[in-house]
Amino acid sequence: MTPQPNPPDPDPAPSARTRNAAATREAILQSALVAFTQHGYNGVGVREIARAAGVTAMLVNRYFGSKEQLFAEVVDVVFSGSTLITDDLPSLGRFAARGLVASEPRSVDGFVLMLRSIADPRATEILRRAIDERQRQLEAMLSGAHAHERAALFLALLLGIRAMQHMLASPTLAGAGEVVTDHLEALFDVLVERR
């Protein structure tokens, strides 16, 4: 006569996926990706991530070792995708400018993830490696004098815009139009065309 003696479990656990390791791991990763992007490394707990994935908190550590390692894998995944940088040098500035203003708020973006998690030292260490690689990649494209410095400034500009847009929810830059795009392109072009 004890079917569910304890109702304090507000966790429906979809359970559509039963005993599928790969799918479960992927579900946790996706859940973590969204959660970390929205609330930052410190702003979300493993229980919350697990619940959104339909599993228990312990499975997170089982599959990823620790919260920190999970975060590192999330960072890897996010920065594998295209983040506002194209291979075509002449249109680099235009691409970044349009990408910045065109993105809807819901999208997961590497720079937003970065900014939201930048307070925690462990997260920062992981993020530093990711941005370093991004900088090297950009530096190789921006050939010419002071490519190193210009690449760093390019990334700084990307980060700053994202900070104003998502973190501080600037109405000016969040729902931006032609004017902002044009100014942004001008800024990026200073760094791209500089020689």
Partner DNA sequence: GTGTCATGTCTACAAGTGTAGACTAGTCAC
Partner DNA sequence: GTGACTAGTCTACACTTGTAGACATGACAC
Which of a copy of itself, DNA, none does residue 19 bind to, with CB < 5 to 8 Å depending on kind?
DNA
Taking the C-alpha atoms of 28, 42, 152 and 72 in order, what is their torsion angle to the nearest 10 degrees?
A: -30
173 is an interface residue for a copy of itself by CB under 8 A? yes
- CA dist 134 and 35 (Å) reads 23
Residue of the chain from 34, 57, 153, 164 that contacts DNA (CB under 7 A): 57
CA dist., res. 82 & res. 131, Å (int):
13
Burial class (CB in 10 A: 0-12, 13-18, 19+), 121: exposed
Q: Which spans in the chain are helix H?
A: 21-39, 46-53, 57-64, 67-80, 92-102, 110-116, 121-141, 147-162, 171-174, 178-193
Q: Choosing among a copy of itself, DNA, none, which partner's interface includes residue 45 (Cβ < 5 to 8 Å by kind)?
A: DNA
Q: Token digits for 51?
A: 């619940």
* 74 is a contact residue toward DNA (CB under 7 A): no
**How far apart, in Å, are the Cα atoms of 10 and each of 6, 7, 173, 177?**
10, 8, 39, 43
CB of 189 to a copy of itself, least distance (A): 9
Choice from 26, 68, 120, 189 touching DNA (CB under 7 A): 68
Q: Smallest gap, in angstroms, from Cβ of residue 153 to a copy of itself?
A: 6
Does residue number 98 form part of the binding site for a copy of itself (CB under 8 A)?
Answer: no
Residue 59 as a binder of DNA (CB under 7 A): the answer is yes
Residue 50 is encoded by which pair of tokens?
């697990």
Residues that bind DNA (CB under 7 A): 6, 9, 13, 17-21, 24, 44-48, 54-62, 66-68
Residues that bind a copy of itself (CB under 8 A): 39-43, 114-120, 124, 127-128, 131, 135, 146, 148-153, 155-161, 163-164, 167-170, 172-173, 176, 179-180, 183-184, 186-187, 190-191, 194
